[in-house]
Chain A
Amino acid sequence: MAITYTSGEQVEVYRFSIPATILIPLAAVFLQAFLPLRFRFFSIFDLPLLVTIGFATARRSPLAGLLTGSCIGILQDALTHHPIGLYGISLTVVGFGASSLGIKLDVEHSGARFLLTIFFYVVHEVVYFMIARGLVGLHMEWSWPHELLSGVANALLGVLIFMLLDRVKQRT
């Protein structure tokens, strides 16, 4: 069973060094802006989202999770020509949700991480869709097959990224 319910006492909480906390999200945003120009297929991935989920589930602190998500999202927004806050809000929700779930579930296994990433990818897309359409007035199209396929692709990459993050996280 990949996902197991764990009590608060059993949960291990990790932290990241300051350079890792700053440089990893920056690298994610940078690669997200750079790679799709060279490799068109890469635009299906959302590296900042994966890093937000990875940080949030490792730290297991809702406060840290939402602040991390908020900062990464605002940084991502700043590179677009849309108002700042679209990614900010959705990643804040994802950061909070992922860290809250990280307390309740054992997310050390790849299977659990895979499912968690698909779930939060869809949550992110739903929140983004609602804000972009309702608040900013952008025209958007929703396609469940596309979202689910993208979710699976992101989850596969997410599993690899979480394994890399495991190498830099430190036990508190």
Chain B
Amino acid sequence: MDVLGRYRNLIVLVGVLFAQVLGLAVQVKRTTDDESTRLIRIWAVGTVTPLEKALVWAQTSTGNIWHNYFYLRGVRAENRSLKQQVEKMSLERVRMSQDADQARRLQALLAFKEQFISETMAAQVIGSSGSELSRSVYIDKGYNDGIRPDMAVITADGIVGKVLRADPANRHVALVLLIDDQTSGVGALLDKTRLQGILRGTPSGEVVLEKVMSDETVPPGEMVLTSGGDGIFPKGLLVGTVTKVSPGSELFLNIRVRPAADLSKLEEVLVVTKIDERQAEPDQTGATRAIDILADRLPKVPSKPENAVKADASGAIAPGTVVPTTVAPTGSDAKPKAVPAEASAASGTPTAQKKAGPASSSGASSVTSSGPKATAAGTTTVKDSPRPVKATVEPKPQPAVEDSPH
């Protein structure tokens, strides 16, 4: 008993340490929080975050009053400069919308499915984890606001991280893991070289792009975008810029990236609450191009009867099938009247795609097939697509064309 009394403090110390080490080992082994650790987290977050929210609210309100009612110096000049900027950007927007229209048409031809952010929720950053080794922040939106784990968190400048915890018990608070944390991972690609890699944080808080082979050339200054491969961030969001490239371990490059979003000064973020996936469709409201009008005025191939389709599949023409007159005739010097594949591809009109089969090679008329199926299968190759030509004629109501999105 004397020994126990003498070493009481030491025994308690060993007991407490042993319990914590054991608890730690159990948590490391498990991938999810058990009930006891979850409760501790709920209590801790529930205790600390209301204070943080109150302080942030007070700070924001005071700032708003000051900036909106008192500190208005230079607003007139700023307004003038912004107006000029708007005019400049309007012109740029017109040019870019034309490029976008063309891209959409091409995407439609390739049955390209694009992901886009359809819903976001603005949230205020109210606190951090308080540890340099846990680069995460708390936001003032949580489970009850529709926030769920693994939702992407972004700012206007670039990506920030993903929602790590959104517990129903802490209804209006969520934990966001930043991209510079060493346990985070984001699928990323380089803008120009299109090389893909994994973006990770380091213990010192830097961001590196991993898994890019060392025989590749990556120039500093190149932009890094999300690749969409992680299933969290949609493809094409800005991540940051390459700052330094050096040979890394094994066969990979060590690419340092400066995040586009300032992760040390986060105040407001957007949580991507819904990502939709849709097939790209050409914009029908855009300006009509001369090539589209021309393509629509040319004769079209009528729909094939069912038995023709069967014959087409088998490579022979079924008896009694009426072969349309607009199909490509045989002979090397014969010129088909159908719209050239390149022209139709660029115009977004899935017309008259030639299908080379045994019948054509044996001197028989080749049967054309049209419709989205041919393009959806990815068989359409767009090469040397003509540059968009601005229509010099007034856009007229287009004649109804079968199988044409226009």
Chain B residues near A92: list those with CB within 8 A: 13, 16-17, 20
Residue among B40, B52, B131, B266 facing the most chain A CB atoms (10 A cut-off): B131
**Residue B45 interfacial (CB < 8 Å):** yes
Complex Cα distance A34/B17, Å? Answer: 29
Partner of B24, one of A75, A83, A96: A83
**Residue A62 interfacial (CB < 8 Å):** yes
Complex Cα distance A159/B47, Å? Answer: 28
**Residue B65 interfacial (CB < 8 Å):** no
- Asked if B20 and A139 sit within 8 Å, CB to CB, the answer is no
In the complex, residue of chain A having the shortest beta-carbon distance to the beta carbon of B204: A141
Complex Cα distance A74/B44, Å? Answer: 9
Complex Cα distance A132/B41, Å? Answer: 19
**Residue total for B at the interface (Cβ-Cβ under 8 A):** 49
Interface of A, secondary structure class, is helix
Chain A residues near B234: list those with CB within 8 A: none
Query: How far does the Cβ of A65 sit from chain B's closest Cβ, in whole Å?
Result: 9
- Asked if B48 and A138 sit within 8 Å, CB to CB, the answer is no
Complex Cα distance A75/B130, Å? Answer: 11
With known contacts A29-B48, A30-B48, A139-B203, A81–B134 Cβ distance under 8 A: yes
Partner of B136, one of A32, A81, A93, A135: A81
**Residue A63 interfacial (CB < 8 Å):** yes
**Residue total for A at the interface (Cβ-Cβ under 8 A):** 44
Partner of A43, one of B27, B132, B182: B132
Complex Cα distance A92/B16, Å? Answer: 8
With known contacts A33-B128, A66-B12, A76-B130, A85–B203 Cβ distance under 8 A: no
- Asked if A83 and B27 sit within 8 Å, CB to CB, the answer is yes
Going nearest first, the 5 A-B pairs with the smallest beta carbon separation are: A78-B44, A80-B134, A85-B24, A83-B27, A33-B130
Residues of B within 8 A of A (CB): 8-9, 12-13, 16-17, 20-21, 23-25, 27-28, 37, 40-41, 43-45, 47-48, 51-52, 55, 125, 127-134, 136-138, 164-165, 175, 177, 181-183, 202-204, 264-266
17 interchain pairs, CB-CB under 8 A: A30-B51, A33-B130, A33-B138, A34-B51, A34-B55, A34-B128, A63-B9, A67-B16, A75-B44, A79-B48, A81-B164, A84-B23, A87-B131, A92-B13, A135-B21, A135-B24, A137-B28
